[in-house]
Structure 1
Amino acid sequence: MTTVEHKVETFDSLNPATDEVVGTYPVHTEEDVAQAVARARNAYTWWNSLGYAGRAERLQRWKGIITRRGAQLAEVVHAETGKPHSDAMIEVVLAVDHTAWVAKNARKVLGPKRRAAGLLMANQAATVEYQALGVIGVIGPWNYPVFTPMGSIVYALAAGNAVVFKPSEYTPGVGKWLVETFAEAVPEYPVFQLLTGYGATGAALCRSGVDKLAFTGSAATGRKIMATCAETLTPVLIEAGGKDALLVDEDADIAAAADAAVWGGMSNAGQTCVGVERVYVHEKVYDAFVAKTVEIAKSVRAGSDPEAKIGPITMPAQLDIIRRHIADAIERGGKALVGGPDAVGEKFVQPTVLVDVPEDSIAVQDETFGPTLTIAKVKDMDEAVSKANDSRYGLGSTVFAKRRGMELARRLRSGMTAVNSVISFAGIPTLPFGGVGDSGFGRIHGPDGLKEFTRAKAIARQRFKPPIALTTFSRTEKTDAAVAKLITILHGKRK
């Protein structure tokens, strides 16, 4: 008898700056996915039984490994995304900080809590707690391959779930590194597993019967994820794209606002979901802001050498989108004060600052995901808020203002706003992270992020027999009359 071996399909992870092969990974099949989820079911039972203290101890152990080998992880990120090593380290640092917070606070957020039973049910003791869902599927992005998926992974783990992780096909090595180091900290069961491959592998994860699917990526792919998960009524968390706005009021610190605009718009080569893409500036400070922004933007250069401040465009298909957005803006009357059509190369895009761009152009309406900024003059902040909110996206936003910062922040239709800083909300572990509209729904980070991977469990325990029994067929007319009188006393008063 001869044995026929099936050849495993593989794919290469490439350095986007050099096209050098960084690693080779299997394309996991639907059967592979089903097996991983089955293993996760068994692992979940053990992991959940450890309780908050046991899980916290192991997460802290993993956090220590990531911290000690942070430079190694940053190098993997650099190799697969092309971003500078120092920017990759920022991801690692933020992920470590979130891991530390979630390990310390999971019990406090999710553990049993007393709730008031009310006068009508005064004989009951009411409690609520948040129980793990079971197995969580996570589909991660390539632009921040450590920080972004870890916002789902560590929160799901701390809540007591097992996790099956499918990183982007552009950054499988980062996923492999995370899963292997977790296995060093938690060797007993495959609590955190890796799947690699393309869209079909992700679709298989959606159909696999996981208890929730957390996805980060484009709105278009998010819709496909939702449709696929709907087949099995699998709940989803979607963190999609953004077209984030920055508002500059007349009393703003102009130098700080310009610095924030350039860093928020061009760090990571503009490949940031919560990065700045649109800027609305009060007419009284418009000229000064534009001049300072142009000055700073001219000092930023994309390249693969150590002196370059931003790296390549990780996903080659994005180059055409960036090129088309810049061309459309200029064809419709916009001006490039920095960069322009020639800024888009074969792998790198140099910073581009555009002004006088019509609001209905694709450079203003659609996510560019490149190192570009559009700057528009407004007569006041009411106009700025109106234009900022005129978007199908609603992820992050930024306000620079001394007097009206908080007021303007509250008026912006976005999940998060930074006042007099940029993207600062992402680095604060206690704050929820997520958007509205085409930017998705659900939240990671903070107490909301922990609860996202749990189900609320309500328990009512009778402490003594009630003076008025409602849940019985032996209830009398006298009882009904007493209840009616009591509810009138409690709630029937005219105000």
Structure 2
Amino acid sequence: MTSVRSPEVGDPPSADHPRAVDPALIHTLRTQLPHTGALRRAAAPFTGQPLPGVPQANPAAVAETARSARGAQDSWARTPIREREAVARRFARALIENHDLLCDLMQWETGKARVHAAIEVQGVISVASYYGRTGAEHLRGRRARTAVPGIVSARVGYRPKGLVGVIAPWNYPLFLAVGDVIPALVAGNAVLSKADSQAPWTLLLARKLAVEAGLPPAVWQVVAGSGAEIGSAVIDAVDYLCFTGSTATGRAIARQCADRLIGASLELGGKNPMIVCADADVDAAATGAVQACFSNAGQMCIGVERIYVHERVYSQFVDAFVGRTRRLRLGSDYTYATDMGSLTSRRQLETTTAHVEDAVAKGATVLTGGRPRPDVGPLFHDPTVLADVTAAMTVYAEETFGPVVSVYRVASEDEAVRLANEGEYGLSASVWTKDLGRGRALARLIVAGAVNVNDGYLSAIAALGAPMGGMRSSGVGRRHGREGIVRYTESQTVTTQRVPTPYPDRMRAGLLRVMNSTTRLKLALPSRFFMPQPFRGRR
């Protein structure tokens, strides 16, 4: 196992550190943050030792940083979108070239397994490549039909919001903290990111690489500090906010955005279900469940926390799933030999432990796991499978956000769908069946922003052309696809008329008769005659 201590400027390089913990790099990354004199140290999950001190901003520093970003935004918005796309593509190449460094740093900050860090890096590479190729297409203006065709024309275009705020969580410090920044920049906005207190260094390295790829430094600014200290200041400073985190915090942020009349996209909590139908490939479903439940030690908003299994295959599935779960390799190393890493914070360990202990005290059965693993590391917990879970238990409806899943026997697919739709959330879901048509039909009955048939969650999040987001208390707005970049813009309609003077009063009655006749004709024609048409104009 790798031992990690906290280096500072002047420390000699050590073989005990991952490569990313070179003191010179930490010093360089630190200079990107406004410094008010205060430093905050988080703990390295693998060891509990302190990470390097992070300069903390205060509300005044946030306001000043936001002014700097605003000052750079207009010039960036005037940069042709093809050039902004090119920056995103160069950024993707920089991420590829620094893949190992990013993985090292991410593991050091979050405690995740190497394989999950690598998948996260690849995810952001894909996002940068996607919007680096499709940004102009998504933001291309279109013609709109008018009340007086031939005399009046209308075109719809998209203007950047201005300054976009991005507040992302610690569990995916690259995919969530950077993946939402990329389309905002391609759309012509400046960005103010609030670095999470636990995992700021991965974000800072990504920002450094973006600048080296040609992004003007002032266009993307980063501040660090607790949400209680500077969260409101960030919201007060921006024109639009993108937030990923808990539902409780999301509600508070939504209220503040509403008071300012600015828009927001919020991806929030989830208690995501998986349905295993009677005809499912049980071995494939068990393998998929392990990935969906225990990737990133279960610290995923789209991870599965409850599985509904048809009674015909329940025993077979449970045996296969529990067997695979028991074979997972836990570890705090920087290699691909580990299947599951650490929880990231003491709070997450305490929540996970409390949910399991409450369930067991009220009659749940632990099929495997069920306990913390201090022998592996201070914040490790066994991947845990529970049965006989009831509504009286906390784990039944509350999001655990740890490596814990409950398995339920159901008598029919209708029962499984009904139970899957219980609760306040609606973020992600999974259905396993050999009948793909039936799988899609069941998916349409589930209240969730994304439903994966014969996959746990990865297919939807990797389908970058398709929107991803939550229903109900799991949030509003969507990332990815056209929706993921258009959310950072304001649509603008520009009309022109060939006759620029008002119509005389004596023409009103005749004009109304013409308009009514035109409407009757429109109602008689097929709708395809009225579809919007793209146009190639300046953006």
Secondary structure of 2:42 counterpart: strand
* Alpha-carbon offset, residue 470 of structure 1: 8.6
* Alpha-carbon offset, residue 71 of structure 1: 0.7
Secondary structure of 2:346 counterpart: coil
| Residue 75 in structure 1 maps to residue 104 in structure 2 | yes
Secondary structure of 2:338 counterpart: coil
* Cross-structure match for 1:269: 297
Name whichever of 260-269 and 321-330 sits farther off: 321-330
* Cross-structure match for 1:85: 114
* Cross-structure match for 1:420: 454
Distance of aligned partners of 1:486 and 1:191 in 2 relative to their CA distance in 1, 3 Å threshold: closer
Task: Say which of 365, 388, 391 aligns to 1:356.
Answer: 388
Question: Partner letter of residue 153 of structure 1?
Answer: V
* Cross-structure match for 1:365: 397
Alignment of 1:92-241 (within 5 A): 92-117=121-146, 120-186=148-214, 188-199=216-227, 200-208=229-237, 210-241=238-269
| Residue 458 in structure 1 maps to residue 493 in structure 2 | yes
Say whether the 8 Å CA contact 2:266–2:477 is kept in structure 1: yes
Question: Partner letter of residue 57 of structure 1?
Answer: A
Task: Say which of 368, 382, 399 aligns to 2:414.
Answer: 382
Distance 2:374 2:309 in 1: 26
Distance 1:343 1:471 in 2: 80
Distance of aligned partners of 1:478 and 1:243 in 2 relative to their CA distance in 1, 3 Å threshold: same
TM-score where L is the length of structure 1: 0.93
Distance of aligned partners of 1:121 and 1:21 in 2 relative to their CA distance in 1, 3 Å threshold: same
Deviation digits for residues 47-81 of structure 1, max 9, x if unmatched? 11112111011122222111101110111101000
Deviation digits for residues 191-221 of structure 1, max 9, x if unmatched? 111111111222210112x110111111111
| Residue 27 in structure 1 maps to residue 56 in structure 2 | yes
Distance 1:14 1:174 in 2: 15
* Cross-structure match for 1:441: 476
Secondary structure of 1:460 counterpart: strand
* Alpha-carbon offset, residue 12 of structure 1: 1.2
Secondary structure of 2:96 counterpart: helix
* Cross-structure match for 1:431: 466
Secondary structure of 1:114 counterpart: strand
* Cross-structure match for 2:444: 410
Say whether the 8 Å CA contact 1:319–1:344 is kept in structure 2: no
Distance of aligned partners of 1:195 and 1:342 in 2 relative to their CA distance in 1, 3 Å threshold: closer
Distance 1:471 1:260 in 2: 67
Distance of aligned partners of 1:102 and 1:476 in 2 relative to their CA distance in 1, 3 Å threshold: closer
Say whether the 8 Å CA contact 1:27–1:201 is kept in structure 2: no
Say whether the 8 Å CA contact 2:36–2:61 is kept in structure 1: no
Distance of aligned partners of 1:471 and 1:338 in 2 relative to their CA distance in 1, 3 Å threshold: farther
Question: Partner letter of residue 414 of structure 1?
Answer: A
Distance 1:68 1:486 in 2: 60
* Alpha-carbon offset, residue 301 of structure 1: 3.6
Say whether the 8 Å CA contact 1:415–1:433 is kept in structure 2: yes
* Cross-structure match for 2:10: none
Name whichever of 8-17 and 221-230 sits farther off: 221-230
| Residue 284 in structure 1 maps to residue 312 in structure 2 | yes
Say whether the 8 Å CA contact 2:270–2:425 is kept in structure 1: yes
Deviation digits for residues 272-310 of structure 1, max 9, x if unmatched? 110011101111111110010010000114331454321
Distance 2:388 2:414 in 1: 19
Secondary structure of 1:302 counterpart: coil
Distance 2:504 2:226 in 1: 58
| Residue 294 in structure 1 maps to residue 322 in structure 2 | yes
Task: Say which of 337, 342, 345 aligns to 2:367.
Answer: 337
Distance 1:255 1:435 in 2: 29
Question: Partner letter of residue 296 of structure 2?
Answer: N
* Cross-structure match for 2:358: 328
Deviation digits for residues 160-187 of structure 1, max 9, x if unmatched? 1111111210001112111222222236
TM-score where L is the length of structure 2: 0.85
Distance 1:116 1:489 in 2: 14
Distance of aligned partners of 1:473 and 1:171 in 2 relative to their CA distance in 1, 3 Å threshold: farther
Distance 2:513 2:468 in 1: 50
Distance 1:167 1:473 in 2: 61
Distance of aligned partners of 1:49 and 1:325 in 2 relative to their CA distance in 1, 3 Å threshold: same
Say whether the 8 Å CA contact 2:94–2:209 is kept in structure 1: yes
Secondary structure of 1:475 counterpart: helix
Secondary structure of 1:425 counterpart: helix
| Residue 255 in structure 1 maps to residue 290 in structure 2 | no
* Alpha-carbon offset, residue 479 of structure 1: 3.4
* Alpha-carbon offset, residue 44 of structure 1: 0.8
* Alpha-carbon offset, residue 311 of structure 1: 1.4
Distance of aligned partners of 1:375 and 1:458 in 2 relative to their CA distance in 1, 3 Å threshold: same
Distance of aligned partners of 1:433 and 1:360 in 2 relative to their CA distance in 1, 3 Å threshold: farther
Distance 1:315 1:161 in 2: 33
Name whichever of 329-338 and 389-398 sits farther off: 329-338
Distance of aligned partners of 1:291 and 1:79 in 2 relative to their CA distance in 1, 3 Å threshold: same
Question: Partner letter of residue 466 of structure 2?
Answer: L
Distance 1:282 1:343 in 2: 32
Say whether the 8 Å CA contact 2:178–2:203 is kept in structure 1: no
Secondary structure of 1:317 counterpart: helix
Distance 1:293 1:417 in 2: 21
Distance 1:66 1:465 in 2: 54
Say whether the 8 Å CA contact 2:87–2:215 is kept in structure 1: no
Secondary structure of 2:426 counterpart: coil
